Structures are given as structure tokens and as C-alpha cells.
């Protein structure tokens, strides 16, 4: 590795009370760095269960156990298992071919307790990243024309562009009722213990997200974070009941709107480079927004001598769209440098591509900030990340890097997602790695983004595999504004 393991020591050292010393867990950290997860977990468990650990040491021991668990969960495919799964799809691989795929960046692996394991979504990713493997699948045949999801985006973008009579005007409002549910699995927490739950809730200061109304929560008592919270949440508590799942839910309505800016270079003014907004949103934000030598070099090579901000953005947007393939990602909590990973492997999911865009853009002097939540397109409801770019004289303009250029000859449609966004969004976050309200005590399941929610109890964090989540969307109107029957 053990790149993935080494990064987690960095993560562990940044958790709560990191100013305290780590001596009681020195051996556990050393074992973690070697990929000896069984021994590392044993050492951390002994410290956590010792007679009188202080709270900081208890939390750090829990973080190491979390890290060990997350690595095992993401890298859970042995070579034999992966080869067998590919065989069932009609593709024959051997150990030498696995090694070649890994060296090419198409297969992610890690050495755990002396044995090589591969990413849990390796099979799906291999078919996304290697065209020769795609064609070897049983009963494979090419599908002509755009996929249904792409066709929907093209149709929606066409409506938005047609309806937009002034730059950036919010149009095509879609009213939706959302019900989000978290179910903690039975007996993961002892009966009678209080479980703390943070669920995503819409930001309310956006032109694209209007008339947010909370209908109900379960339990009824809740704590809604202030409107200016950059990662917006609703907080709930319940006591665990023996042998029963623990249910948390929220239900709310909103109207989500689209925007199309369709800018030209002449519409963008030079930046005021001493302005606090410019300085804040062109700076580094370790660990994932760092102007490494590789980032600076690539940004310079893409942008060249260009000075117009919009043209710079277009060059970076096109480069990522052309060279970085969408693929399922490792959990962000076990990645030390997401843009660096994407450049090395040449693939990444929506958030990874967004962080790469942000790094390259900021290195080129373009102000940009993170935005994320959910995509709520019919039949395609899922977590999603994008960003917003600031143009002097225009303001903040949405940009969805992973949706890329649409297959259209009309530039307004083709580049719709570079200077616009569709109406099927839930905006939860206007930044990453921000504190939750109230503060979470243990290492978050997702330390950077906030979409699925967070759950913990006094004994530690509850990771994603201990609870299920579900987003139910009811469309009250279509993007034509007409009420659904």
C-alpha cells in the first residue's frame, strides 16, 4: 500500500482533541501504518476498554477502530473472489492480469494483514474503465443513442435555456415532497442507550431552492441547525430498543429551480484580487485542495497564457470531461488527497471530479466553492456533488463537472452544466468539512461531505454499514410547473 493505510494515520491525527498526545496508541498507529489491521485493532480495543481512559484517548482509540473497519469494508475482495465474479460475467482474468490492471490505475487494491485485497466495487469499475473488458461480457451489445438519463438532461436543459430570458434567472421550478429515513439495525447499540442522529436538511438562502417547509420528524422533538450553517442538518435523538430497528425520519417540501447563464467571455470582468471573497475562494484547503507541483503544472498546461476567467474554466472543464472517467469511489474518509488520486488513476466519482476541478481552478486564480446534496431526477435519485464558480460582474454560477458536456450541437445545451444546473437538486452543503450542529463527538462516517447523515452513541460512531438510508421523492409538479395528479 500502503498508501491508503498511511493516509489514515493522517486522518486519525486530525480527529477530536488532536492536540493531546497519542502515546497510549503509538503501537496501534505503527501497526496501522504497516497494514496490520488485526493487530492495530487489538491494540486500540485494549486502550478503549482500559479501566479509565480519558475522553480524548477513548475517542482516538475509537477512530483507529473505525479506520481499520473502513479499510476492510472498502477493500473486501480477494483475488480469487474478484476473478470468480468476473468469470460469471464472461471475462477470464488471472493474477498477472489483475496486477496489470492495478498498475494501470483501473483496479484499486490494498495489502491487509499481508494479503492483497481489492475494492468492493472493482467489478463495476473495471467495466467502466476498460473498454476491452466491456465487450467480453456475456450477451453484451452496444446501445445506440444517449442513455435515458442523458436524454432527460438534454430535454430539461432545452426547456431551461428556452425559458431563460435573463442571465441566471431561476426557472422551471419543480415542487417536491421529500421523506428521508435512517434505520439503525437492531442491537448495534445496547437497549436504553441514546442514539444521536444528524440528517441532511435544505439550505434556505439560495435562489434555486425556495419555500422550504418542514412537515414532520420522527421523533417529533428535533433541533434544526441555523440557516447560515454551511452543512445544514436536523438533529434527532432516540433510545435504542432491544431487537428492534431504530427509526429516524424527516419530511419536508421545497421548490427547486434551474439556472442557465450561458456566459460569453465579454460578460466577465477582471477579478478584484484583494477582495476577501477572492482570497478565500482561491486559497488552499488541505488535505483536498492543495496546490501540489502536479496540480500547479497541470493547471498551467491546461490554461496556458489565457487570462479570461470563463475561458480558463472552459479549458479545465473540457480537460476533466475528456480525460477523467466516472467510476465508483472509495469512501472519502480513507483518502488523503482526492485530486491526487484522480490524477493518478484517471477516474473518480462526482465529488472527486469536483475537487479536482476546484484544485485546478483555484490554482489558476478562479474563485470556486463546493456545493452538494442530492440529485433528484426521476429514476435517478442519489447523492451528488458539484460546485459554484464566481465571475466578477456576474456572481456565483453553478458548475457540474461530472455531468460534463451533453451530446448536442447547440453550445447552450452542450455546455449547459458548465454555466448552469437543472432543477432536480437538493442543496444541503455550501462547503465541505464543516462542523455539524450540535457538534459530533466521534469521527464522522464522512468527514468532508454530508448527504447520508451521521449517527453515533456514547460508545462511538455508527458507520454506514450499521444503518440504512432512503430518500423518497414525490414530485408535486413537473418542470413545466403543472401540478401532478
CA distances from 136 to 91, 141, 204, 360 (A): 6, 10, 49, 36
Helix (H) or strand (E) holding 473: strand 467-475
pLDDT band at 141 (very low <50, low <70, confident <90, very high): confident
Instruction: Locate 430 and state its grid cell.
Output: 455550501
Query: What is the pTM (predicted TM-score) of this model?
Result: 0.94
Q: Which residue has the higher pLDDT, 136 or 111?
A: 111
pLDDT in tens, 168-223: 999 999 999 999 999 999 999 999 999 999 999 999 989 999 999 999 999 999 99
The CATH code that applies to domain 146-485 is 3.10.620.30
Q: What percent of the chain has pLDDT over 70?
A: 95
Q: Return the domain boundaries, the chain.
A: 1-142, 146-485
Contact criterion met (CB below 8 Å) for 477 and 174: yes
| Residue 479 pLDDT class (50, 70, 90 cuts) | confident
Q: If you write DSSP's letter for every residue of 162-214 in order, what string do you get?
A: HH--STT--EEEEEEEEEEEEEEPTTSS-TT-EEEEEEE---SSBTTEEEEEE
pLDDT band at 22 (very low <50, low <70, confident <90, very high): low
Give the residue-averaged pLDDT of 389-401: 98
Q: What is the 3-state secondary structure (H, E, C) of 4-52?
A: HHHHHHHHHCCCCCCCCCCHHHHHHHHHHHCCCHHHHHHHHHHHHCCCC
Q: Which residue has the higher pLDDT, 373 or 336?
A: 373
d(CA 211, CA 81): 50
Per-residue pLDDT at 5 exceeds 90: no
| Residue range 314-343: mean pLDDT, rounded | 95
Task: Work out the pLDDT band at 15, boundaries 50, 70, 90.
Answer: very low
- Residue 348: alpha-carbon gap to chain centroid: 10
Distance CA 94, CA 102 (A): 12
pLDDT score of 51: 65
| Res 481 pLDDT > 70 | yes
Whether 52 shows a pLDDT value over 90: the answer reads no
The more confident residue out of 57 and 378 is 378
Q: Looking at residue 20, what is its pLDDT?
A: 46
pLDDT, greater one: 391 or 329: 391
Q: Are strands 246-260 and 209-218 parallel, antiparallel or unpaired?
A: antiparallel
- Distance (Å, whole) CA 98 – CA 359: 31
Ramachandran angles phi, psi of 19, nearest 5°: -75, -15
How high is the pLDDT of residue 18? Answer: 40
| β-bridge mates for residue 251, sequence order | 179, 216
User: Whole-angstrom Cα distance, residue 318 to residue 324?
Assistant: 10
Mean pLDDT of 269-287: 97
Lowest-pLDDT choice from 15-24, 238-247, 432-441, 453-462:
15-24
The pLDDT value recorded for residue 19 is 37
- pLDDT of 10 over the 70 cut: no
pLDDT attached to residue 144: 78
* pLDDT tens-digit map of 290-308: 999 999 999 999 999 999 9
* Stronger pLDDT, 175 or 51, i.e. the higher one: 175
Q: What is the pLDDT of residues 66-83, one digit of tens each?
A: 999 999 999 999 999 999
pLDDT above 60 (res 16): no
Longest dimension (CA), the chain: 69
Contact assessment for residue 29 and residue 14, using Cβ atoms and an 8 Å cutoff = no
Strands 194-200 and 233-239: antiparallel
Q: Give me the mean pLDDT over the 383-406 stretch.
A: 98
Scan for cell 445506440, then name that residue.
144
**For 213-269, what is each residue's pLDDT tens digit?**
999 999 999 999 999 999 999 999 999 999 999 999 999 999 999 999 999 999 999
Amino acid at each position: 500500500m500502503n498508501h491508503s493505510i498511511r493516509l489514515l494515520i493522517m486522518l486519525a491525527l486530525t480527529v477530536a482533541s488532536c492536540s493531546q498526545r497519542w502515546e497510549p496508541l503509538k503501537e496501534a498507529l505503527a501497526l496501522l501504518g504497516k497494514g496490520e489491521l488485526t493487530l492495530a485493532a487489538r491494540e486500540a480495543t485494549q486502550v478503549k476498554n482500559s479501566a479509565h481512559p480519558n475522553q480524548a484517548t477513548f475517542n482516538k482509540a475509537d477512530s483507529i477502530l473505525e479506520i481499520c473497519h473502513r479499510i476492510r469494508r472498502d477493500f473486501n475482495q480477494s483475488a480469487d473472489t474478484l476473478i470468480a465474479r468476473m468469470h460469471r460475467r464472461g471475462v477470464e482474468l488471472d493474477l498477472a492480469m489483475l496486477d496489470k490492471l492495478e498498475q494501470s490505475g483501473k483496479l484499486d487494491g490494498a495489502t491487509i494483514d499481508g494479503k492483497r485485497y481489492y475494492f468492493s466495487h472493482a467489478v463495476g469499475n473495471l467495466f467502466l474503465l476498460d473498454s476491452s473488458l466491456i465487450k467480453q461480457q456475456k450477451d453484451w451489445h452496444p446501445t445506440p443513442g444517449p442513455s435515458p438519463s442523458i436524454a432527460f438532461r438534454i430535454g430539461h436543459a432545452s426547456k431551461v435555456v428556452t425559458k431563460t430570458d435573463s442571465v441566471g434567472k431561476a426557472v422551471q421550478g419543480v415542487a417536491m415532497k421529500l421523506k428521508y429515513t435512517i434505520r439503525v439495525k437492531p442491537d448495534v447499540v445496547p437497549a436504553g442507550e441514546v442514539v444521536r442522529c444528524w440528517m441532511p436538511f435544505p439550505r434556505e438562502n439560495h435562489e434555486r431552492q425556495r419555500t422550504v417547509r418542514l412537515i414532520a420528524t420522527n421523533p417529533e422533538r428535533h433541533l434544526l441547525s441555523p440557516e447560515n450553517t454551511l452543512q445544514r442538518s436536523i438533529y434527532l435523538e432516540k433510545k435504542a430498543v432491544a431487537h428492534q430497528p431504530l427509526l429516524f425520519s424527516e419530511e419536508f417540501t421545497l421548490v427547486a429551480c434551474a439556472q442557465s447563464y450561458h456566459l460569453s467571455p465579454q460578460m466577465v470582468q477582471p477579478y478584484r484580487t484583494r477582495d476577501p471573497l477572492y482570497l478565500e475562494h482561491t486559497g488552499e484547503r488541505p488535505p483536498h485542495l492543495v496546490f501540489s507541483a502536479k496540480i500547479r503544472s497541470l493547471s498551467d498546461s491546461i490554461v496556458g497564457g489565457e487570462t479570461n476567467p470563463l475561458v480558463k474554466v472552459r479549458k479545465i472543464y473540457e480537460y476533466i470531461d475528456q480525460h477523467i472517467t466516472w467510476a465508483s469511489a472509495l469512501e472519502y474518509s480513507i483518502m488523503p488527497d482526492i485530486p491526487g488520486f484522480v490524477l493518478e488513476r484517471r477516474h473518480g466519482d462526482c465529488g472527486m471530479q469536483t475537487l479536482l476541478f476546484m484544485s485546478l481552478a483555484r490554482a489558476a486564480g478562479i474563485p470556486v466553492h463546493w456545493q452538494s446534496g442530492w440529485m433528484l431526477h426521476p429514476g435517478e435519485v442519489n447523492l451528488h456533488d458539484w460546485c459554484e464558480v464566481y465571475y466578477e460582474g456576474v456572481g456565483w454560477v453553478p458548475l457540474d463537472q461530472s455531468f460534463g458536456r451533453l451530446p448536442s450541437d447547440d453550445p447552450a445545451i452542450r455546455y449547459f452544466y458548465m454555466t448552469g444546473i437543472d432543477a432536480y437538486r437538493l442543496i444541503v452543503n455550501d462547503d465541505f468539512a464543516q462542523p455539524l450542529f450540535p457538534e459530533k463527538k466521534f469521527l464522522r462516517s464522512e468527514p468532508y461531505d454530508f448527504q447520508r447523515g451521521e449517527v453515533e452513541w456514547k460508545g462511538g460512531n455508527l458507520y454506514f454499514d450499521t444503518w440504512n438510508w432512503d430518500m423518497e421523492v414525490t414530485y408535486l409538479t413537473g418542470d413545466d410547473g403543472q401540478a401532478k395528479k
